[in-house]
Amino acid sequence: MKSISIATSTRTEFVDITGLIKEALKKNKWSDGMLYVYVPHTTAGVTINENADPSVQADILDALNKLVPVKGSYRHTEGNSDAHIKASLIGSSVMVIVEGGRLVLGRWQGIFFCEFDGPRQREIYLKFMGA
C-alpha cells in the first residue's frame, strides 16, 4: 500500500488527483491489474467524473450543498454534519483498471478527491492488485 498526501485550500472542493495517481503508477512500476483508491476520512471522498470542464465539479458541489446544506438541524455538534453526509453520498473509494502501466479511464474522466470539511491535510491510500 502507498499513500499520497494532499493539502486542500477551501471548505469544499474537488481536487483532480489523476496526475498524482499516474505518478504513483510509474514510480511503483505497477503495470496490469486493479488500483484501489481509498480516502480514510469521514468528511471527504473520492469520485471519478469529467475533468475536461471544471464547471462539472462546481455543479456537483452546488447540488450537494442544496441537498445537504451546511446549516441544518443536525444532532452532531462539531459543525461539520453536512460534510459527513456528503462524504457518505460520494463514497470513500474507487477502483480503476490499470493496463500497461496506464489508468483505464474514459476520454473525459479524471479521479477527484472531494473535500467537504477543509482546508486540511489529507491522505489518499493506493492499493495495487496485479493481474
- Pair 6, 122: CB distance under 8 Å: yes
DSSP 8-state secondary structure symbol assigned to residue 32: S
Domain 2-130: which CATH class?
mainly beta
Residues contacting residue 26 through CB under 8 Å, at least 6 positions apart: 101
Phi and psi angles of residue 126, each rounded to the nearest 5 degrees, phi first: -120, 130
Q: What residue segments make up the domains of the chain, in order of their start?
A: 2-130
Give the pLDDT confidence score for residue 40 in this predicted structure: 98
Residue 13: per-residue pLDDT? 97
pLDDT for residue 72: 87
Mean confidence (pLDDT) of the chain: 97
What is the value of pTM for the model shown? 0.96
Q: In b/e form, how buried is each residue of 71-97, taking b as 16+ CB within 10 angstroms?
A: eeebeeeeebbbbbbbbeebebebebe
Residue 77: its pLDDT value, please? Answer: 87
How does pLDDT run along the chain (131 residues), one tens digit per residue? 999 999 999 999 999 999 999 999 999 999 999 999 999 999 999 999 999 999 999 999 999 999 999 998 999 989 999 999 999 999 999 999 999 999 999 999 999 999 999 999 999 999 999 97
Dist. CA 114–CA 92, nearest whole Å: 9
pLDDT at 11: 97
Q: CA 10 to CA 21: how far, in whole Å?
A: 22
pLDDT, tens only, 34-71 = 999 999 999 999 999 999 999 999 999 999 999 999 99
Side-chain-side CA neighbours of 62 within 13 Å: the count stands at 6
DSSP 70: S
